[in-house]
Amino acid sequence: MVAKLNLVKLPIIILLLLCSFGCYSQKLAIKEIGFSLKPEERAKIERLATYEVKIFNGLFKDAENDSLTININLYNKGKDFRALLQEFGLKGLTESGFYSPITNQSYVLYQSVADIEIILHEMSHALLRNSIRNPPRWFNEGLAEFLESLKEENYKIQVNAQFHYLDKMKVDNRNTPTNISAFLNSHNSWQDKNRVHDMYTISYCMVYYIIKQNPLLISKMANMMKKGINTEQIFDTLFGGIDSFERNFNFYYR
């Protein structure tokens, strides 16, 4: 349990990231391979996708994503999806979904409505790449993990905290405080099957922490990345340096 995190409702935080653009024309092109979505499932995907696009519009304070076509390929059979992973050279690195910057399409193993979170995750990669050509991996994955937890509850859409990451971060920090500088430079660890879960954990917890401190900071960070400002400069400007961020991050997850 993460008793010391002093959690508040995330929907309130996310509302601060939403922009007020009234026009919405973004297209969601869903291709079903070997099955057909139920009408209610498709409608739910479209509602959540609409909300996610608005969040990205709010992050970058523009409506660029409204004109973007999001291409999503849904596979219902595990064998077909595993063959696809083999084709893309991703076997062993994912079991559920991926986004290809080469094809600019997302590919998801969709077997139940619970897999909508995978669609949202891969959509996040497509939306972020539309604004930032080469986003840092930690930011790309951390934001995708954060937004995949968009849920419809009581006829409202909200973001739920991913407590398995928050709990793991606390346990890990009891043993060894996180070295943020080393993490940011651990590029090869994303391809290491023994390290990749830790990379996702830290990435999510960094994005979660930044949004909890001030949701506008994540928008400032995204726009600085869009301008090509490097990571060290971003942390210097927004947090007083990587070392300062690291101290406060580790204190938060103590």
Sheet holding 69-75, edge to edge: 27-33, 69-75, 105-109, 97-100
CATH number for 50: 1.10.390
Of 133, 121, 115, which is closest to residue 70 (Cα–Cα)?
121
The parts of the chain modelled with pLDDT lower than 50 are: 1-8, 12, 16, 20-25
Per-residue pLDDT tens for 214-232? 989 999 999 999 999 999 9
Q: How many domains does the chain have?
A: 1
Output the pLDDT for position 12. Answer: 44
- CA distances 174 to 1, 162, 170, 191, 234, Å, are 14, 19, 6, 26, 28
Half-sphere exposure of 238 (CA within 13 A, CB side): 25
Q: What pLDDT is recorded for position 4?
A: 40
Please report the pLDDT score of residue 157 as a whole number. Answer: 84
**What's phi and psi for 183, nearest 5 deg?**
-60, -45
Q: Which two tokens stand for residue 47?
A: 């509602």
- H helix or E strand, kind and range, residue 33: strand 27-33
Q: What integer best gives the mean pLDDT of the chain?
A: 88
Quickly count: other Cβ atoms within 10 Å of residue 216's Cβ.
14
Residue 14's pLDDT is 56
Q: What percent of the chain is helix, strand and coil (3-state, nearest 5)?
A: 60, 15, 30
Q: What pLDDT, on a 0 to 100 scale, did the predictor assign at position 27?
A: 82
The pTM of the full predicted model, rounded to 2 decimals, is: 0.89
> Which residue range is the domain that position 12 belongs to?
3-252
Q: How many other β-carbons are positioned within 10 Å of the β-carbon of residue 196?
A: 15
220 alpha-carbon distance from chain centroid: 17
